[in-house]
Amino acid sequence: MKFINGPTTIPALRTLMILGAFGLFSFLSFLGMLFFRSSKMLHSAVDVFEVFCILFFLENMIGHLTLHHFFDDTKKLILHTPPCCCCLRCLPLARSSSRNVERIRTCLHVVVVIWVVLESIRIIRTMECQYDVDSSAAALTNILMMIVFFCAMWGLIIIYRSGHDILHRYNYTIKFLAFKGMVFIAKFLYKILSYVASFSENAIPPYYENIPDESGGTVKYLVVKVKARISIWT
């Protein structure tokens, strides 16, 4: 419980949700291996919860800095930070005012909304058998989501670097690296195991090029697609 250093119950709940991500990601990854066709939707839920956890990290850091009266206009916010602007030394230092902090917080909330919308669109297209991982639309969506994720990380690192003298005592670096390491391991293991499971005779491909025709029906369509995929593998 040393991880929970918040002054109120709300930061403690955020921290518990971050810690709960370890079990949630493992459970959803396991379900994704059991139900191969639903793996995309399950991992979309993982990605959405990961962005929420980044927001929780930001809110907890702002809470700790507020306790130490950091946002009193006397200190500076360092904007030239990775992953977006680490090379832009020309960026001026911003005042550590409550207004600027609210702008960063609002931007991160907008990032979460955009991410949820993009993931929802991808899930809907998958359910409608219209999602193709090799299409230009999917590539554009992935690029946009990467940009949104970098913006979220930029806001998080701005707050951490600016208040490092205060925040380092709470070990935020170790906590965040442990969280991201867990996310990376969960996704990496899922990719490996799902690739191995795809060679099973019972595996069903998660995406379909066309909607089933009326003559064959959905069941017959799935049987034909599975036999075609197995013939390619063998």
Taking only the tens place, the pLDDT of each residue in 97-117 is 888 888 888 988 998 899 899
- Residue at 160: amino acid letter: Y
**What secondary structure, in 3-state letters, does the chain show?**
CCCCCCCCHHHHHHHHHHHHHHHHHHHHHHHHHHCHHHHHHHHHHHHHHHHHHHHHHHHHHHHHHHHCCCCCCCCEECCCCCCCCCCCCCCCCEECCHHHHHHHHHHHHHHHHHHHHHHHHHHHHHHCCCCCCCCHHHHHHHHHHHHHHHHHHHHHHHHHHHCHHHHHHHCHHHHHHHHHHHHHHHHHHHHHHHHHHCCCCCCCCCCCCCCCCCCCHHHHHHHHHHHHHHHHHC
pLDDT at 218: 41
> For the whole model, what pTM was predicted?
0.71
Q: Decide: residue 207, CB within 10 A, 0-12 exposed, 13-18 middle, 19+ buried.
A: middle
Asked whether residue 175 carries a pLDDT value surpassing 80, the answer given is: yes
Contact 165, 78 (CB under 8 A): no
Give the pLDDT band (50/70/90) at residue 32: confident
Give the pLDDT band (50/70/90) at residue 227: low
